[in-house]
Structure 1
Amino acid sequence: MNERELQQLTEDISEQFFGKAFRHQAVFNDRLKTTGGRYLLGTHHIELNRRYLEEHGRDELIGIIKHELCHYHLHLEGKGYQHRDRDFRELLQQVGAPRFCTPLKTVQKKKRAVTLHYYVCTGCGRHYTRKRRFDTTRYVCGICHGKLKKEGEKA
């Protein structure tokens, strides 16, 4: 599906389910990672995630378009357009739009390797473990105010 077909589909859904015209742009945004789409308040455009079409099919994309059109039409009418608003939830039910989209299977969180830094107090021998490295000349032990050194280094 290309951008022109997406625009036409969005306009058709708007007319069919909402009885109102969609006068702005609907485009694919390939930078969207975890969300199916978003409605932009400033420009009134709708951006959609192409991967939902590829992974879940046309029906899921239509559901996402309906959801974003709920935000669109309610915002333009000056009604409650946010997820927590009653107007929004009622309109979702009327048009049969999902409140949340199905998660993508291809999106996996990459675990970053955490490097731990170990410090020891030269006064009381207390051990400190930190995720971030810090300058030992600027900080002292919180218990005895002794000097800190990185474990494995000589004093």
Structure 2
Amino acid sequence: MNLTDYVKRVSLKDFGKPFKHQAQWNTRLRSTGGRFFPKDGHLDFNPKVYQELGLEVFRKIVRHELCHYHLYYEGKGYKHKDLTFKELLKEVDGLRFVPPLSSTRQKPVLVYKCHSCGQAYQRKRRIDTKRYRCGLCHGKLILQNQPKD
């Protein structure tokens, strides 16, 4: 079965309303499960969510995007901040946020420690230890861990 047919079935079963546009996979999505495009009404979905988290979680993401879709075409508040969106999402048991995927790689945390006072600093990006000093005592900073990139 194709994705658009699945979204149409979920829309009729969970909302009692038809989905009249297209749904497609978008492999470029990283941190989101799906997107609604008001301009032409189509929905994009992240295939990794379905592959890694399964059909049950994916269905909740489909419900989330259908909340945007149906509210938009009813002329009601369809954005995340709108009360109508929050209420409908709760009513149909949609997901507010996508659980983290194992394929989305987190940057390693770098730990710098002051040579003089021992103050530790955690950073996501490398810093130039010749240029920057401790904020407390102006001591020399030393990188404590070597993350494997």
TM-score after normalising by structure 2: 0.72
RMSD between superposed Cα atoms in Å: 1.9
Distance 2:129 2:39 in 1: 45
Deviations 1:45-96 (A, max 9, x none): 1000000111010111111000000000001111011111110011011111
What amino acid maps onto 1:17 in structure 2? D
CA-CA distance at 1:115 after TM superposition: 6.1
Size of the aligned set, in residue pairs, is: 118
> 1:47 matched to which residue of 2?
44
Give the TM-score taking structure 1 as reference length. 0.69
Instruction: Indicate whether 1:95 and 2:92 are aligned.
Output: yes
Counterpart residue number, 2:80 = 83
Question: What letter matches 2:37 in structure 1?
Answer: L
* Larger Rg belongs to: 1
Q: What SS does the aligned partner of 1:27 have?
A: strand
Q: What is the rounded CA distance, in whole Å, between the counterparts of 2:85 and 2:127 in structure 1?
A: 45
Query: Which of residues 101, 104, 114 is equivalent to 1:107?
Result: 104
1:116 alignment partner in structure 2: 128
Q: Distance in 1 between matches of 2:38 and 2:7?
A: 17
Q: Which residue of 2 aligns with 1:66?
A: 63
What secondary structure, in the 3-state scheme, does the structure 1 residue paired with 2:2 have?
helix
User: In structure 2, what is the equivalent of residue 30 of structure 1?
Assistant: 27
The runs of 4+ residues in structure 1 deviating greater than 4 Å are: none
State the identity as a percent: 39
1:18 and 1:60 mapped to 2: Cα distance? 17
Cα separation, 2, equivalents of 1:116 and 1:9: 52
